[in-house]
Amino acid sequence: MFYEVYSSVVFFLFGLVVGSFDNVAIYRIPEGKSLWAPRSFCPQCGTTIAWYDNVPLVSYIVLRGRCRHCAKHIPVRYPLVELISGSLWLAVFAKAGFTWSIELLPNLFLVTILIIVSGIDLQKQIIPNKVIVPSIPIALACMGIVALVRGDYHVITDSLIGFAVGAVPLGILALALPRGMGMGDAKLAALTGIILGWRSEIIALFAGFFLGAIVGVLLMSLGKKGRKSRIPFGPFLSAGAIIALFWGPSLWDLYVGLF
């Protein structure tokens, strides 16, 4: 029990730190800025942030959501992304049975990329190639390592089929309906298909479209969006992938059991 609690705390804290990096990526990648230099700074006054003002979650609470130097509000996105990252890292560890396993590698990579992609898409309505294109071979490499450790090469087949299940239909939609779907969405679905496998990828796509439809109808009914308004789809694909990551096999069995 002590080991499980200790390891869970470590995973949560490390997830918070990764969430801090996610925030840097969400802000800097669309601006074409380096992820490594300069050090973190206030985007409003440009002052370099001291290490004690850059502690995930804690600093935001201590500073009451304001920059120490210019006193302007720090967007709530920053602690929210850190909290989501820490929570998902902990959830992935729990899914693995609170033990170290090779499956942690692709799953932690997936949730980290999903957070970055969703944050950028919500702000800029783009899924940058700088994030998604290198993530695809990295995901394939992760699944290759899983296959080697398990001695089960069906993992690779499942990943490659998952890649096609995610990329092909959304790629066709992006070509046929460019105002409604982007190639970035197809590339994101390809990435999630690699790690989830084809069965869970089907669940992810269904869940993503379902959530997108509900939110779209809700926004239109509230007058926030029109029928021709663009809504970033990356966050919904990401939410669907998270659902499939944790409950995909169970939902697939439930679906198959209906027939």
Q: What is the pLDDT of residues 222-247, one digit of tens each?
A: 877 766 677 899 999 999 999 999 99
pLDDT at 180 over 80: no
Q: What pLDDT digit, counting tens, does each position of 157-169 carry?
A: 999 999 999 999 9
What is residue 39's predicted lDDT score, i.e. its pLDDT? 84
β-bridge partners, 68:
none
Per-residue pLDDT band for 16 (boundaries 50, 70, 90) equals very high
Q: State what percent of residues in the chain have pLDDT above 70.
A: 99
Q: What is the mean pLDDT of residues 103-121?
A: 97
pLDDT per residue as tens digits for the range 33-42:
888 888 888 8
State both tokens at 31.
């601006």
196 has a pLDDT exceeding 80 = yes
Q: Where are the domains of the chain?
A: 1-100, 101-259
Task: Kindly state the average pLDDT of the residues 197-214.
Answer: 96
Mean pLDDT of the chain: 92
The mean pLDDT of 20-35, rounded to a whole number, is 92
- Could you give the C-alpha distances from 258 to 223, 250, 255, in angstroms and in order? 38, 13, 5
Asked if pLDDT for residue 5 goes beyond 90, the answer is no
> How high is the pLDDT of residue 115?
98
The residues near 11 (Cβ < 8 Å, ≥ 6 apart) are 89, 90, 92, 93
Amino acid letter for position 114: L
Query: Does residue 19 register a pLDDT over 90?
Result: yes
The residue written with tokens 């992304």 in the block is: 81
Q: What would the 3-class secondary structure string for the chain be? A: CHHHHHHHHHHHHHHHHHHHHHHHHHHHCCCCCCCCCCCCECCCCCCECCHHHCCCCHHHHHCCCECCCCCCECCCHHHHHHHHHHHHHHHHHHHCCCCCCCCHHHHHHHHHHHHHHHHHHHHHCCCCHHHHHHHHHHHHHHHHHHHHHHCCCHHHHHHHHHHHHHHHHHHHHHHHCCCCCCHHHHHHHHHHHHHHCHHHHHHHHHHHHHHHHHHHHHHHHCCCCCCCCCCCCHHHHHHHHHHHHHHHHHHHHHHHCCC
Q: What is the pTM of this model?
A: 0.94
pLDDT tens-digit map of 41-93:
887 887 888 888 889 999 999 988 898 889 889 899 999 999 999 999 999 99
The pLDDT score that the predictor gives to residue 44 is: 81
